[in-house]
Structure 1
Amino acid sequence: MADTLTPLSPLHSWNHTFSHLPESVRITEEPFATMIDLWVNPTGPGASAAAAVLGVDLPTTASTATTGDTATAIWLGPDEFLITTHTQAPETLEETLRKAVTPHGGAAIDVSGQRTTLRLTGAHARDILAKGCSIDLHPTVFRPGTAVQTMLGLAGVVLTALDDTGTDYRILVRASFARYLAAWLIDAAEEFGVDPV
């Protein structure tokens, strides 16, 4: 019988630790998302071809994201986007996007192994982020559809707002910084009543 490898997320052993956080600060890992770096002119035919594959238009404004039924497109630069989804395998989406955009001078590369995703929710979620992030997180400014590359503590992240009350965020962090960031978030949450582990 052949041995099989079971994929493990960077934070696979942290669920117990996360469970000791209060309701006002909840952290959960959303592992194994498909992530594709997409390079394409957002105003050219390549963007239309990508949108047809993804079911969502690419954002054309800095620090924004567009979300469809199955995928999210995050603006990383004038011609660079990060596509995330849980509904398609990385190799399938990479190949489909590459075929769609290459004739228009675009490119698509699977970067799914680069990052993991944390979901930060609760009444004190914005308070936690404000301890280590220099951007204005007020819900009137940082609202759904906003996505920025920023520093959180000492980790570079992609931060997106998921609601307009400052209580729901998605944090994409490099796998090599995931444990650091998880520990940082838990430390930042201590004043709100972390239960002993």
Structure 2
Amino acid sequence: MADTARTARQRSPLAHAAHRLAAATRASKGAIRLAELPLLAQVNVRLDAKSPAADAVGLALGLQLPLEPNTVVHAGEVTVVWLGPDEWLVVGRPGTQRALEERIRAAAGDEHVSVTDVSAQRTTLLVGGPRARDLLAHGCSLDLHPRAFGPGRSAQTMLARAHVVLVAREEPRAGFWVLVRSSFAGYLTDWLLDAAVEYR
């Protein structure tokens, strides 16, 4: 309950840009969709992938922690992004960070595990639409072709000189999540809006 009340009082770093993102989406006539997914719960988890805790935490979250580099798994309202051989980012709906932390800690038991709420560190931009890959390719050196970076893939990379976690969503036509540090969110939004002008 406390987390939900706290989330209601929090203000997204891009709250002021919501109307500009919506206007750019309308102007593209379906080619691009831009929006913020504000205040998502984000919990960083570090543990030995070969330990019993990895299986227990996955079971508690209703999925298996992704072990293949640069992949994402999704179950219900929880998404887990592979960040390193012993590191994952667990993403959930706003206000659930404490519940996620408690579930992970309880599942790990006495095993060595690090669980850190990093929800305030980043915000999430949704980049969707048929030209989403083209838009992102303007500022990202990754090969974003679906054969190389299809649904369920992720990467820690640079987008327009901002460090981001890029996630190709698994749902049909869901587009990409761009998780960016809150301090760079305004800059990256301005860049995306500028780059999207050609799709109007």
Alignment TM-score, normalising by the size of structure 2? 0.89
Looking at structure 1, the residues matched to 93 and 172 of structure 2 have their Cα atoms a distance apart, in angstroms, of 25
Moved more, 51-60 or 81-90: 81-90
Looking at structure 2, the residues matched to 120 and 129 of structure 1 have their Cα atoms a distance apart, in angstroms, of 8
Of residues 5, 10, 13 in structure 2, which corresponds to 1:7?
10
Looking at structure 2, the residues matched to 180 and 174 of structure 1 have their Cα atoms a distance apart, in angstroms, of 10
RMSD value over aligned CA atoms?
A: 2.0
Q: Which residue of 2 aligns with 1:176?
A: 183
Residues 137 and 42 (structure 1 numbering): CA distance in 2 closer, same or farther, change over 3 Å? same
Q: Which residue of 2 aligns with 1:119?
A: 126
Q: For structure 2, which runs of at least 5 residues remain unmatched after alignment?
A: 1-5
Q: For structure 1, which runs of at least 5 residues remain unmatched after alignment?
A: none
After superposition, what is the alpha-carbon deviation per residue over 1:79-125, rounded to whole angstroms, capped at 9, x for unaligned?
00000011762122112212322512111111111111111011211
Which structure is higher in helix share?
2
Q: CA deviation at 1:167?
A: 7.1
Letter aligned with residue 67 of structure 2: T
Paired-residue identity, %: 39
2:166–2:178 CA contact under 8 A, matched in 1 = yes
Structure 1: 4+ residue segments shifted above 3 A: 163-167
**Does the alignment pair 1:93 with 2:100?**
yes
Give 3-state SS (helix, strand or coil) of 1:14's partner. Answer: helix
Looking at structure 1, the residues matched to 77 and 57 of structure 2 have their Cα atoms a distance apart, in angstroms, of 14
Looking at structure 1, the residues matched to 13 and 82 of structure 2 have their Cα atoms a distance apart, in angstroms, of 25
Q: CA deviation at 1:168?
A: 1.0
Q: Which residue of 1 aligns with 2:67?
A: 60
Looking at structure 2, the residues matched to 166 and 183 of structure 1 have their Cα atoms a distance apart, in angstroms, of 24
After superposition, what is the alpha-carbon deviation per residue over 1:49-95, rounded to whole angstroms, capped at 9, x for unaligned?
11122111100011111111121111101100000011762122112
Give 3-state SS (helix, strand or coil) of 2:9's partner. Answer: coil
Looking at structure 2, the residues matched to 174 and 24 of structure 1 have their Cα atoms a distance apart, in angstroms, of 26
**Does the alignment pair 1:84 with 2:91?**
yes
1:163–1:169 CA contact under 8 A, matched in 2 = no
Q: Which residue of 2 aligns with 1:108?
A: 115
Looking at structure 2, the residues matched to 166 and 150 of structure 1 have their Cα atoms a distance apart, in angstroms, of 22
Looking at structure 2, the residues matched to 61 and 68 of structure 1 have their Cα atoms a distance apart, in angstroms, of 17
Residues 174 and 161 (structure 1 numbering): CA distance in 2 closer, same or farther, change over 3 Å? same
Of residues 180, 188, 192 in structure 1, which corresponds to 2:199?
192
Alignment TM-score, normalising by the size of structure 1? 0.90
2:39–2:94 CA contact under 8 A, matched in 1 = no
Letter aligned with residue 10 of structure 1: P
